[in-house]
């Protein structure tokens, strides 16, 4: 039968905070453990002094969180109280409340709720969709038997789930440590064998300089984009940087040694300058910071936005094989390599759009930007309390280790061999 014929998803009695007694139980979403139906904490009004309207519930009511249904937060109230408006309160009448809880927490209902939920960042199950859900209803005695049987096996299931969660955590932690270690080896020139026949990276950097000069003559670059920075090792084995005719010792900036055929370079030397653009047409693909999956480092939530409602931050031009690096909380690693499908998209100004110069392999630069050396190094420049960020200059002035072109290829192949999940 339809769930709406038993309860009503659109009805929950509300009360103003000044009408709630100091000793009353106040339930919030954070107080319910996901997937288990376990109450984690029981708070009183006098302790939290909530100022928002609440839903009223009574002992025996089934309390269901409509926000983020995948979290699967459902409990049975053991006393009267009040809850956030994100929690719906149900009286299932003659239906066993434990059976109702089991149904609402079942994979069937969770999948149904998520398939019909509205909202991207904060998905919710709507009243109409909730009422239309189908509920299999056995006889009352069978409801009791189902609840009793599940109560017997629940401790076993919970122990298994806990063990599996811990195993998953350890595996993820191990992989993350392995990935960090491998990437660090890669950017220090220790991952693949050095080839004496490789053209030195210094020659590659000279080609980049020449290419930028050509683009300037064609009017495609501004004079300020021509950076005459050359970093080299002196006879005293210290590192120096020559800008125009001025030479400065930067040995204290060099974090680690690199092979002889490698070179250090500033971001402004090896990256093409960013470009601004404006949306055209009726709509466009917009890549905001939350569009990047920072676990997989891919773009998986870009939005189609009407040009008439374009956010003011939608001005960063992107290219195929450019790298999006979030300047807001860089430690979160919202970093992604732009695929062909997003070559006409527009990114938020929250990103630095890294466009590697010719002769640099985008995959290498992508993995370089993901390395602990780069992320932790840029994190040191963060400013701000609410949204700590870095700026363009921090990325452009940062030092990057550059291998010969052929070695860049070998490094990427080796990374995919060692860490196939990165593909």
Do the two domains 3-137 and 271-422 of this chain adopt the same fold? yes
Judge whether 310 and 284 are in contact, CB under 8 Å.
yes
Beta carbons within 8 Å of 250's beta carbon, 6+ residues apart: 231, 239, 240, 241
Domain 271-422 indexed as CATH 3.40.1830.10: no
Centre a 10 Å sphere on the Cβ of residue 216 and count the other Cβ atoms it contains: 14
pLDDT tens by residue, 83-137: 999 999 999 999 999 999 999 999 999 999 999 888 877 899 999 999 999 999 9
Backbone angles phi, psi at 315, to 5 degrees: -140, -5
- What integer pLDDT is reported at residue 169 of this predicted model? 76
Q: What is the mean pLDDT of the chain?
A: 92
Per-residue tokens: 33: 């453990």
Query: Domain spans of the chain?
Result: 3-137, 201-262, 271-422
Per residue of the chain (423 residues), give pLDDT as tens.
899 999 998 888 999 999 999 999 999 999 999 988 899 999 999 988 888 999 999 999 999 999 999 999 999 999 999 999 999 999 999 999 999 999 999 999 999 999 988 887 789 999 999 999 999 999 999 999 999 998 888 777 777 767 777 777 777 777 778 888 999 999 999 999 999 999 999 999 999 999 999 999 999 999 888 888 999 999 999 999 999 889 999 999 999 999 999 999 999 999 999 999 999 999 999 999 999 999 899 999 899 999 999 999 999 999 999 999 999 999 999 999 999 999 999 999 999 999 999 889 999 999 999 999 999 999 999 998 888 999 999 999 999 999 999 999 999 999 988 876 544
Judge whether 57 and 85 are in contact, CB under 8 Å.
no
Q: Report domain 3-137's class.
A: alpha beta
Q: Is 0.75 surpassed by the pTM of this model?
A: no
Per-residue tokens: 388: 């700590």
Beta carbons within 8 Å of 43's beta carbon, 6+ residues apart: 25, 26, 27, 28, 31
Q: Containing H/E element for 156?
A: helix 140-187
């Amino acid at each position: 039968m339809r769930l709406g014929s038993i309860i009503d998803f659109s009805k929950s009695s509300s009360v103003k905070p000044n009408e709630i007694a100091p000793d009353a139980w106040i339930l919030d979403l954070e107080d319910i453990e996901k997937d288990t139906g376990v109450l984690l904490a029981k708070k009183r009004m006098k302790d939290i002094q909530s100022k928002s309207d609440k839903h009223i519930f009574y002992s025996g009511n089934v309390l269901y969180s409509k926000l983020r249904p995948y979290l699967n937060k459902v409990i049975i109230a053991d006393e009267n109280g009040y809850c956030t408006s994100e929690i719906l309160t149900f009286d299932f009448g003659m239906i066993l409340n434990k059976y109702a809880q089991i149904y609402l927490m079942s994979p069937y209902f969770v999948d149904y709720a998520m398939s019909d939920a509205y909202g991207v960042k904060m998905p919710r199950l709507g009243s109409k969709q909730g009422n239309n859900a189908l509920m299999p209803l056995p006889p009352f005695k069978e409801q009791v038997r189902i609840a009793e049987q599940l109560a017997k096996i629940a401790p076993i299931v919970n122990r298994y789930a806990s063990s599996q969660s811990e195993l998953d955590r350890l595996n993820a932690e191990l992989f993350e440590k392995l990935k960090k270690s491998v990437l660090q080896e890669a950017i220090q020139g220790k991952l693949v064998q050095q080839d004496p026949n490789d053209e030195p990276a210094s020659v590659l950097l000279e080609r980049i300089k020449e290419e930028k000069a050509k683009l300037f003559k064609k009017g495609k670059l501004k004079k300020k984009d021509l950076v005459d920075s050359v970093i080299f090792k002196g006879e005293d084995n210290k590192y120096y940087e020559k800008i125009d005719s001025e030479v400065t010792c930067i040995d204290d900036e060099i974090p680690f040694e690199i092979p002889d055929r490698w070179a250090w370079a500033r971001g402004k030397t090896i990256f093409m300058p960013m470009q601004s653009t404006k949306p055209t047409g009726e709509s466009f693909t917009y890549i905001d910071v939350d569009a990047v999956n920072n676990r997989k480092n891919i773009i998986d939530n870009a939005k189609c936005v009407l040009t008439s409602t374009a956010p003011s931050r939608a001005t960063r031009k992107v290219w195929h094989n450019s790298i999006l690096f979030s300047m807001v909380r860089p430690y979160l690693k919202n970093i992604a390599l732009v695929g062909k499908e997003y070559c006409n998209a527009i990114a938020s100004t929250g990103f630095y759009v890294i466009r590697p110069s010719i002769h640099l392999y985008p995959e290498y630069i992508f993995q370089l930007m993901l390395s602990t050396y780069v992320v932790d190094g840029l994190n040191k420049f963060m400013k701000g309390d609410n949204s700590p960020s870095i700026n363009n200059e921090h990325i452009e002035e940062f030092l990057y280790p550059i291998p010969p072109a052929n070695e860049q290829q070998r490094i990427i192949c080796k990374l995919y061999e060692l860490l196939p999940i990165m593909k």
